[in-house]
A and B are shown apart, each in its own frame.
Chain A
Amino acid sequence: AQRVTQPEKLLSVFKGAPVELKCNYSYSGSPELFWYVQYSRQRLQLLLRHISRESIKGFTADLNKGETSFHLKKPFAQEEDSAMYYCALDSSYKLIFGSGTRLLVRP
Chain B
Amino acid sequence: GAGVSQSPSNKVTEKGKDVELRCDPISGHTALYWYRQRLGQGLEFLIYFQGNSAPDKSGLPSDRFSAERTGESVSTLTIQRTQQEDSAVYLCASSSRVGGDQPQHFGDGTRLSIL
Contact = CB atoms under 8 A, between A and B. Distances in A.
A25 B53 CA distance: 29
Contacts, number: 55
Interface string B25-59: 00000010101000011111100101000001011
Contacts of A43: 3, 106-108
Interface of B: 3, 31, 33, 35, 40-45, 48, 50, 56, 58-59, 91, 98-101, 103-108
Contacts of A94: 33, 45, 48, 56, 58-59
A86 B43 contact: yes
A38 B41 CA distance: 14
A4 B31 CA distance: 23
Interface in A53-107: 86, 88, 90, 92-100
Interface string A32-46: 101000000001111
Given A43-B3, A45-B105, 15 more contacts: A6-B42, A9-B40, A32-B100, A34-B103, A46-B104, A49-B101, A49-B103, A86-B42, A90-B100, A92-B56, A93-B98, A94-B45, A94-B48, A94-B59, A100-B42
Contacts of A98: 42
Interface of A: 4, 6, 9, 32, 34, 43-46, 49, 51, 86, 88, 90, 92-100
A82 to B, nearest CB: 18
Given A43-B108, A92-B56, A93-B56, A99 B42 contact: yes
Contact of B48 (A44, A93, A99): A93
Contacts of A88: 43
